[in-house]
Structure 1
Amino acid sequence: MEEFFKLNFNGSSFGNLSLAGFGGIVREWNRVVVFSFSGLLGEKTTNFAELMALFNGLKLFVDKMVGTYCVVEGNLSNVINWYNGILKPLWEHRSILLQNWDLSRSFTFSFVHVFREANVVADYLAKGGSTLTEIVVSNSVISF
């Protein structure tokens, strides 16, 4: 079996323009945690929080040179559909989406929509991110 990695990401906003956080986790193909991350965004929309979770996850994956192939899973279908070219992004999100596309050119990434139930760790990290003052990266799942 060829080794691959999986990045689960999520953004959290307690209202559609309120305190927002982001988070995610990267695991090896055999479910071993490589790293997790979480951070605060301030007052933002859910879509923006999701895009920033994706951006930070891709950036950390590329910076750490974790591997060459990664399945990226998120539970907000808008972000996955924007990324895969199925839907046109809102104009205010194009800049961060372009940065995400640039990051994803370094390795092979597949972007997949998953249901919330399959993304519980990333959801936990995103909600916890709204309690932080700076981004946190850990070699295990961050505790709040």
Structure 2
Amino acid sequence: MSWLWGLIRDSLGRWVIGFAKFLGQTNAYMAELWGLFHGLRIARSQGIGKLIVQSDSVVIVKSLQTGSEGSATGWMLFKKIKQLLTLNWEVRIIHVYREANSCADIMAGQGCSLQGDEEIYSNPPTVVLQCVSNDARGVSFPRLVSS
């Protein structure tokens, strides 16, 4: 069973809103697409005019940057994401390694503790308080990447 998790932070790394949604049976690619779509819709509903989306899915980021249609599996959802991106706001989508998405990664481990199919968090769940604090203070954890 799959859950999607995401969070929106301000330019200083402070929590704005978080979300979780039950997806049922799906693969990692589709979960990433649903997370992006859901996150964009929430950001839009919050009146956010400038957004930098950080995703650890290099496939999705490259597909959106090059304007391709993505995988045949998720083409309709991919099309909806592209429609959201054409609205009157500034959205930049960049690839980051999983370590840079540690808050979302930590939240993803909490899927089984949800009470319903969807939750919105106006405050960070206890499990990510330290991670959000670290991000706001600029704490980083290096990663070795082969060249």
- TM-score between both structures, scaled by the size of structure 1: 0.79
Q: Which runs of 5+ in 1 are unaligned?
A: 1-18
2:78 — aligned with what?
A: 97
Q: Is the 8 A contact 1:25 1:37 kept in 2?
A: yes
Does residue 139 (structure 1) correspond to residue 122 (structure 2)? The answer is: yes
Q: Is the 8 A contact 1:73 1:113 kept in 2?
A: yes
Alignment partner for residue 85 of structure 1, among 42, 51, 66?
A: 66
Alignment partner for residue 44 of structure 2, among 62, 68, 80?
A: 62
Distance 2:107 2:85 in 1: 22
Deviations 1:71-120 (CA, angstroms, capped at 9, x unpaired): 10011111111211276511121111111111122211011000011001
Distance 2:70 2:112 in 1: 25
SS, match of residue 141 in structure 1: coil
Distance 2:55 2:112 in 1: 18
- TM-score between both structures, scaled by the size of structure 2: 0.77
Distance 1:80 1:23 in 2: 17
Q: Is the 8 A contact 2:69 2:78 kept in 1?
A: no
State how many pairs are aligned.
125
Distance verdict in 2 for CA 1:53–1:129, change over 3 Å: farther
Distance 1:98 1:130 in 2: 30
CA root-mean-square deviation: 1.7
> Which has the higher Rg, Structure 1 or Structure 2?
2
2:135 — aligned with what?
A: none
Deviations 1:10-67 (CA, angstroms, capped at 9, x unpaired): xxxxxxxxx11111111111111110111111110000000011011000001121x2
Alignment of 1:66-77 (within 5 A): 67-77=48-58
Same amino acid, percent of matched pairs? 21
Does residue 36 (structure 1) correspond to residue 11 (structure 2)? The answer is: no
Q: Is the 8 A contact 1:35 1:138 kept in 2?
A: yes
Relative contact order (alpha carbons < 8 A, sep ≥ 6): 1 or 2 greater? Answer: 1
Q: Is the 8 A contact 2:6 2:35 kept in 1?
A: yes
User: Alpha-carbon deviation of 1:129?
Assistant: 3.3
